[in-house]
Amino acid sequence: MAIYSTNEFKAGLKVMLDNDPCAIIENEFVKPGKGQAFNRVKIRNLKTGRVMERTFKSGESLEGADVVDVEMQYLYSDGQFRHFMVPDNFEQYQCDEKIVGDAGKWLKDQDSCTVTLWNDAPLAISPANFVELAIVETDPGVRGDTSGGGGKPAALETGAVVRVPLFVQQGEVIKVDTRTGEYVSRVKE
Q: Where does this chain bind other proteins (CB under 8 A)?
A: 7, 28-38, 40, 52-58
Shortest Cβ 11–other proteins spacing (Å): 14
Shortest Cβ 63–other proteins spacing (Å): 17
| Closest CB to other proteins among residues 35, 79 | 35
- Ranges assigned E (strand) in the chain: 3-5, 14-17, 20-30, 38-45, 51-57, 61-63, 67-77, 81-85, 92-96, 112-118, 121-127, 130-138, 152-156, 161-164, 173-177, 182-186
Give the whole-angstrom CA distance, residue 132 versus residue 129.
10
Shortest Cβ 21–other proteins spacing (Å): 18
| Closest CB to other proteins among residues 29, 130 | 29
Contact in structure between 138 and 155 (CB atoms under 8 Å): yes
Contact in structure between 24 and 11 (CB atoms under 8 Å): yes
Shortest Cβ 164–other proteins spacing (Å): 42
83-96 core/surface letters (b: 16 or more CB in 10 A; e: else)? bbbeeeeeeebebe
Shortest Cβ 9–other proteins spacing (Å): 11
| Closest CB to other proteins among residues 9, 74 | 9
| Closest CB to other proteins among residues 54, 175 | 54
| Cα 5 → chain centroid | 28
| Closest CB to other proteins among residues 31, 175 | 31
